[in-house]
Amino acid sequence: MTPAGPVLAATGLHKTYGPTPALADAGLSVQPGEIVAVMGPSGSGKSTLLHCLAGIVRPDAGSVRYGPHELTTMTDARRSALRRTDFGFVFQFGRLVPELTCLENVALPLRLGGLRRRAAEDRALEWLDRLEAADVRGKRPGEISGGQGQRVAVARALVTTPRVVFADEPTGALDSLNGERVMGLLSRAARDTRAAVVLVTHDARVAAYSDREVVVRDGRTRDLAGVA
Ligand X SMILES: Nc1ncnc2c1ncn2[C@@H]1O[C@H](COP(=O)(O)OP(=O)(O)OP(=O)(O)O)[C@@H](O)[C@H]1O
| Residues of the shown chain interacting with ligand X in the complex, contacts defined by CB under 6 A | 17, 20, 22, 40, 42-48
Q: How far is the CB of 223 from Mg ion (least distance, A)?
A: 19
- CB-nearer residue toward ligand X: 191 or 205: 205
Residues of this chain that bind Mg ion (CB under 5 A): 47
Q: Which does 20 bind (CB under 5 to 8 A by kind): ligand X, Mg ion, none?
A: ligand X
Alpha helices by DSSP H, listed for the chain, are 46-53, 76-86, 102-112, 117-130, 146-158, 176-193, 204-207
Tell me, what DSSP letter sits at residue 211?
S
Neighbours of 47 (CB within 10 A): 20
Does residue 141 contact residue 94 with C-beta atoms inside 8 Å? yes
- CB-nearer residue toward ligand X: 47 or 160: 47
Q: How far is the CB of 91 from ligand X (least distance, A)?
A: 11
Q: How far is the CB of 44 from Mg ion (least distance, A)?
A: 9
Q: What are phi and psi of 90, to 5 degrees?
A: -130, 130
Q: Which does 55 bind (CB under 5 to 8 A by kind): Mg ion, ligand X, none?
A: none
Q: Which does 17 bind (CB under 5 to 8 A by kind): ligand X, Mg ion, none?
A: ligand X
Q: Which does 53 bind (CB under 5 to 8 A by kind): ligand X, Mg ion, none?
A: none
Q: What are phi and psi of 217, to 5 degrees?
A: -140, 125
Q: Which does 184 bind (CB under 5 to 8 A by kind): ligand X, Mg ion, none?
A: none
Q: How far is the CB of 45 from ligand X (least distance, A)?
A: 4
Does residue 46 contact residue 201 with C-beta atoms inside 8 Å? no
Q: How far is the CB of 54 from ligand X (least distance, A)?
A: 13
Amino acid at site 158: L
* Interatomic CA distance for residues 16 and 26, integer angstroms: 12
